[in-house]
Amino acid sequence: MIELTRNDFDPIKSKAETQGELRPSLSYWQDAWRRLKANKRALVSLYLVIFLLLFAIVGPWVWRVDPALQDLDQVGQAPGVDRRAVIIDEYAPWDGESAISGFSGLRLSAAATTQAVRLNWDVLEGANGHRVYRNLFPVGPELAFGIPIAEFFDNETLFFEDRLDVQPGTYFYSIVALDLQSKITSTYESITVSVTRVTTLAEAIENKLVPEGAFLQSGDEILLALHPLGTDYLGRDMLARLMAGAQVSLFIGIGAPFLFVLFGVTFGSIAGYIGGRADQIMMRFADFVVALPFLLFMILFKISFGIGPGESGVFPMLVALVILMWPATARLVRGQILQIREQGYIAASQLLGARPGYLILRHMLPNTMGVVLVTLTFAIPSAIFTEAFLSFIGMGVVPPTPSWGSMSNEGIKYMLISPHELIFPALLISITVLAFNLLGDGLRDALDSRMRNFE
């Protein structure tokens, strides 16, 4: 129960007492920011976007590896594999002399290394020559020998040295007897060979794995260069390439929408402000551009700009995106301007002598900014998709410039052997697209009640 005294019935003297502010007043943007912060999904997306931008911009400063540098000791390496290597002597030619003796049949002449795998064998029964095969899998009952790597049409040569892109791991070597017509027979011998990774001291110093003048003997172990996310099919560092690709993908993905939204806002606000016949003509033109089949014209514009040698193809793609994607923003802004034009404050400003430029810039555009920002956010994922899509079919950025799309295109060819080459760029594309989509949803809910998603 509230105690009332006589004083409570006295008239209030000052205005401040009647109209005290209950809460601090919020501007439109402060209010929007407050609502965005309350939206968990949008906030997480915002952090993701910031992280991706840092990944592209700050990343290369932290991880200073040249994205074009090939590490031929580690080609197509998955992340986190063993990177120890043994120092051995320089390669010396081999004349087939067997050092390890006492075995018969197919045998190794020396320990198998990535430098060379040296095989010796005895003449197979009824053979008139031999063919050497290498496989990643055991021969099995269906006699799958793998790839043929050497062929001898007589029984004179009974040795072979394999130096063809030998990677650390397990191989299955087979020799198969050839008949008189040099066709393979079912007589074969097979051995399992486990290959160790080696490097020479000179190579290690050249690749800056050990300091110059380091005292290392044959048989010492060293660590090869670190690749946190593995390497691609040419031995290039995936992390460095993903960062360089992020620069290209995000530059196109954010730069192009920024430019075409800017153009669309200018076009749409002028059309909306002038109105009448000029507006009709301008918007009809926008309708025509909308009708152009988007991807076909992306490709068409790209080839019509022409890409000279040494160019990356980023700029033509940017221009093509701007040319083709502005009408949606223009339409939207025009619609907004048409509504705002009828508002009382515009008439008031006009009465006070405001010029058209001032009216548009001061009164009309700031009121459309919410919608424009939402459009911009939704345009980014579609631009990123378009870039990835075009690079994937080989019509995007030109190699060796990496982009997430072109990296996916390369990775898809090695999907079964080294899936990380596809997974990382594809994951980054997905995360980026998702983050911008969710951020767009959040911004729409926060900025514009009319566009609010009914949820």
Partner 1 sequence: MWGYIFKRLVQGIITVWFIATATFFAMHSVPGDPLLNDRAVTPQMRANLEAKYGLDKPVLTQYFVYLGNLSRGDFGISFTQENRQVNDIIRQHFPVSAILGVLAVVFAAAGGVLFGALTALYRNRLPDYIIMFLVILGISVPSFVLAALSQLALVNLNSLFATNILPVAGWGTIRHMLVPALVLGLGTMAYLTRLMRSSMLEIINSDYVRTARAKGVPPARIFARHQLRNAILPVVTVLGPAIAAITTGGFVVELVFAIPGLGRYFVEAVQQLDYTVIMGTTVFYGAFLVFMVIVVDVIYGFIDPKVRLE
437 makes contact with partner 1 (CB under 8 A): yes
**CB closer to partner 1 out of 112 and 379:** 379
What is the rounded CA–CA span in Å between residue 298 and residue 302?
6
- Whether residue 327 has a cis bond before it, omega within 30° of 0: no
Shortest Cβ 350–partner 1 spacing (Å): 31
Nearer to partner 1, 8 or 455 (CB): 455
Cα 339 to the chain's mean position, in Å?
41
Is 288 a binding residue for partner 1 by CB under 8 A? The answer is yes
Phi, psi of 236 (to 5 degrees): -90, 150
**Please, which of residues 360-389 interact with partner 1 by CB under 8 A?**
381, 385, 388-389
Residue from 143, 303, 348, 451 that binds partner 1 (CB under 8 A)?
303
The single residue among 76, 301, 312, 319 that binds partner 1, judged by CB under 8 A, is 301
DSSP 37-93: HH-HHHHHHHHHHHHHHHHHHTHHHHS---TT-B-TTSSSPPTT---EEEEEPPP--
Pick the binder of partner 1 from 273, 392, 418, 424 (CB under 8 A): 392
Question: Edge to edge, what strands does the sheet with 130-135 contain?
Answer: 147-152, 130-135, 169-178, 184-195
Q: Is 412 in the site for partner 1 (CB under 8 A)?
A: yes
* 219 or 394: CB nearest partner 1: 394
Q: Which range of residues in 125-133, 237-245, 301-309, 360-368 is near partner 1 by CB under 8 A?
A: 301-309
Using CB under 8 A as the binding rule, the residues of this chain from 134 to 153 that contact partner 1 are none
In the complex, least distance from residue 324 CB atom to partner 1, rounded to whole angstroms: 10
Count residues contacting partner 1 (CB under 8 A)? 40
Span near partner 1 by CB under 8 A; candidates 74-82, 141-149, 296-304, 361-369: 296-304
**293 forms part of the interface with partner 1 (CB under 8 A):** yes
Task: Name the minimum Å distance from CB 80 to partner 1.
Answer: 23
What single-letter amino acid sits at 83?
R
Contact between 296 and partner 1 per CB under 8 A: yes
Q: How far is the CB of 342 from partner 1 (least distance, A)?
A: 20
| Interacting residue with partner 1 among 30, 157, 304, 343 (CB under 8 A) | 304
Residue 44 binding partner 1, by CB under 8 A: no
- Considering only 87, 373, 395, 397, the residue that binds partner 1 (CB under 8 A) is 395
* Segment (H or E) for 137: none
As a 3-state breakdown, the chain gives helix, strand, coil percent values, each rounded to 5, of 50, 15, 40
The CA distance from 55 to 57, in Å, is 6
Indicate the SS3 state at residue 175: strand
- Could you give the C-alpha distances from 131 to 56, 96, 175, 187, in angstroms and in order? 51, 16, 5, 11
Print the binding letters for residues 245-284 with partner 1: x by CB under 8 A, - otherwise. ----------------------------------------
Residue 102 contacts residue 141 (beta carbons within 8 Å): no
- Interface with partner 1, residue 43, by CB under 8 A: no
Q: What is the largest CA-CA distance in the chain?
A: 127
Q: Which residues contact 8 (CB under 8 A, 6 or more apart)?
A: none
Asked whether position 51 contacts partner 1 by CB under 8 A, the answer is: no
Handedness of CA 413, 416, 418, 419 (dihedral sign): positive
- Measured from the CB of residue 2, what is the shortest distance to partner 1 in angstroms? 40
Q: Phi/psi class of residue 196: alpha, beta or left (left: φ > 0; alpha: ψ in -120 to 50)?
A: beta
Comparison of 263 and 285: residue with beta carbon closer to partner 1: 285
* Smallest gap from residue 123 Cβ to partner 1 (A): 39
Cβ of residue 53: shortest distance to partner 1, in angstroms? 18
Both tokens of residue 376?
């911009």
Give yes or no for a contact between 59 and 246, defined as CB atoms under 8 angstroms apart.
Answer: yes
State how far the Cα of 97 lies from the Cα of 83, in Å rounded to an integer. 31
Q: Is 109 in the site for partner 1 (CB under 8 A)?
A: no
Q: Which stretch binds partner 1 (CB under 8 A): 91-99, 206-214, 220-228, 414-422?
A: 414-422
- Asked whether position 451 contacts partner 1 by CB under 8 A, the answer is no
Residues found near partner 1 in the complex (CB under 8 A): 287-288, 291-297, 299-301, 303-304, 306, 381, 385, 388-389, 392-395, 405, 408-409, 412, 415-416, 422, 426, 429-431, 433-434, 437, 453-455
